[in-house]
Amino acid sequence: MTTNDRLYHIGFGRSDLGFLPPAIAFLSGDPERARLIAEDYLKDVRTLSEHRGLNSYLGVLPNGKPVLSATSGMGAPSLSIVVNELVQVGIKTVVRVGTTGSIQPEIQAGSVVISHAALCRQGAAHDIAPMEYPAVADLYLTMALVNAARQLNVDYHVGITASVDSFYEGQERDEISANHSLLPQLRGQTELYRRLHILNYEMECGTLLKMGSVYGFAAGCVCGVIAQRSTGENVILEQKMSAVDNAIRVALQAAQQYGS
Ligand code: URA
């Protein structure tokens, strides 16, 4: 069902959200993950839109709290559009449920990384705040994610995430990339970030966190680890399902306990 207050990109509006509209959204890069969260983890699910692959579903948590499971698409430009529109329909809390590549040897595939801040090397974020503006997660939401991981006995790590604009060049992928002319300033970057105690690479968190502070909504991020960059460049497909399941369960448990 769509109405005439629907927003251009996400394809639904406030009036599609019913009498008890959700205040919290889970945001996946992959539309299939947004669908998975809705179909396998939520109750009373209703499809809001699958416009442009930006799948959005309305559902309720086991404790009856209404939530959205939405899609950011890949990277910060798409995320910035979706998040702007989610705020326009009344969303007050956004939890990114993503996937990531660990750059620290002790952070294994299958575990989760909870970002309390990000090194934000993302062009879209420059349109929202000055480059130096901190990309920090909501403190209380982050604690809720940490508590959820503890309660669920999920292997978790909390720290700083590197959010970049590309999966190959920006994350110093050389061997599995079609581009064999990596810019000199990107060579050695992963080792530098490792020494700066950055935990992981991904492509959306930093811009989301800056938007949270600028717009005035609570932003948090939990990502399942699907690549271990101390040992290789490829995604470890055998660990992907458990990493994603861990990130989803942590996000849902945190949402049940966070706020009202
Ligand atoms: N997403 C990323 O951006 N990088 C990875 O290595 C894995 C997932």
Q: What is the Å distance from ligand 1's center to 173 Cα?
A: 11
At 24 the three-state DSSP class reads strand
**Which residue's C-alpha comes closest to atom 8 of ligand 1?**
100
Q: In ligand 1, which atom is closest to the CA atom of 164?
A: 3
Q: What is the Å distance from ligand 1's center to 152 Cα?
A: 24
Q: What is the Å distance from ligand 1's center to 96 Cα?
A: 14
110 φ, ψ to 5°? 100, -25
**pLDDT at site 2:** 46
CA-CA distances (angstroms) from residue 164 to 18, 123, 178, 244? 37, 9, 18, 20
- The domain locations on the chain are 14-257
**pLDDT at site 36:** 98
Q: What is the Å distance from ligand 1's center to 167 Cα?
A: 6
**What are the catalytic residues?**
9, 85, 173, 229
Reported as a single tens digit per residue, the pLDDT across 170-221 is 999 999 999 999 999 999 999 999 999 999 999 999 999 999 999 999 999 9
Decide: 100 and 198 in contact? Cβ < 8 Å.
no
Q: Which of the listed residues 119, 120, 167, 173 should we mutate to test ligand 1's pocket, taking the one with most ligand atoms within 8 A of CB?
A: 167
Q: Which CATH architecture has domain 14-257?
A: 3-Layer(aba) Sandwich (3.40)
**Ligand 1 surroundings by CB, under 6 angstroms:** 99-101, 167, 171, 201-203, 226-227, 235
Length of the chain: 260
Residue 92 DSSP label: -
Distance CA 96, CA 208 (A): 8
pTM of the model: 0.97
Query: Of 101, 79, 65, which Cα lies nearest the Cα of 28?
Result: 79
Q: Which residues of the chain have pLDDT under 70?
A: 1-3, 260
Q: Quickly count: other Cβ atoms within 10 Å of residue 247's Cβ.
A: 34
Angle at 39 between CA 80 and CA 155, to 5 degrees: 75
**pLDDT at site 260:** 55
